[in-house]
Amino acid sequence: MYSRSKLIEEITNKKSFLCVGLDTDITKIPKHLLSEPDPVFAFNKAIIDATSPLCVAYKINTAFFEADGAKGWESMQKTFDYIPKDCLSIADAKRGDIGNTSHQYAKAFFETLNADSVTLAPYMGNDSIAPFFKYPGKWGIVLALTSNPGSADYEQQKIGDKFLFEHVLENTCEIGSEENLMFVVGATKPQEFSIIRKHAPNHFLLVPGVGAQGGSLSDVVKYGKIKDIGLLINASRSIIYASNGHDFADFAASEARKIQEEMATYL
């Protein structure tokens, strides 16, 4: 169970709304870890130990683990189990399918992995993501307006007088609430937050794109912040790959601290 009130409490306590993204690529982790029985988990564990006082969430990009088969899934399971309970755990899996398939995806991430939340692709309709909202204390994080160039192909196309992402926001709010529904909004489109907030004035937003992708924290806060912040700012590569030496965890903590210290000025 991870409630909205708990998330707000952690943001207040840590003076941070940072989410650390674990996009763990075994070809990019420090070479000295390759002698470990599970190099990927050893890397994740060190990053979590170094950054957990500075962040309120971890986003595990499941593709980097699933690509490695059973071994990767084991590393992912151990990582989810290791994330401190005061931090929201996010399975960045972008799932969404019809009928029993979606039920099985929800079971995989919420029961087997025991993630607190999972990212969802809504473009097959509400029935494809509804099963994820049947788990008390769990969150569905729906793709709304992403930061990739291809978002213009569909998300930013107009249907009538509204963009497709606006229809997604309106329709998805019918199956979730501010207590269990967030939206993904890319940091590279900060001016669009005014449109997002028109449809989702009080929902938390998961915002990737700050750091290596060039998004501005100050712009995101300017356009997206609400009374209780309502933002989770994700940074991945700029933190976890700040160094590839034996001191990688120290450098990760240093980069996370820079973001946290700036976030503290907005609280």
Q: Is 94 a catalytic residue?
A: yes
Residue 135: C-alpha distances to residues 85, 128, 202, 235, 236 (Å): 18, 15, 21, 27, 28
If one counts the domains in the chain, the total is 1
Set 59, 94, 138, 189: catalytic member: 94
Name the 3-class secondary structure at 262: helix
- The whole-number average pLDDT for the span 166-182 is 96
Q: What is the pLDDT of residues 109-138, one digit of tens each?
A: 999 999 999 999 999 999 999 999 999 999
Convert the pLDDT of each residue in 204-238 to its tens digit: 999 997 765 667 899 899 999 999 999 999 999 99
Helix, strand, coil abundance in the chain, percent, nearest 5: 45, 20, 35
Full domain range(s) for residue 259: 4-264
Q: 188 pLDDT exceeds 80?
A: no
Asked if 206 contacts 198 with a C-beta cutoff of 8 angstroms, the reply is no
Here the CATH number for the domain that contains residue 259 is 3.20.20.70
The pLDDT > 70 percentage for the chain reads 99
List beta partners, residue 57. 19, 88
Give the separation between CA 209 and CA 158, rounded to whole angstroms: 24
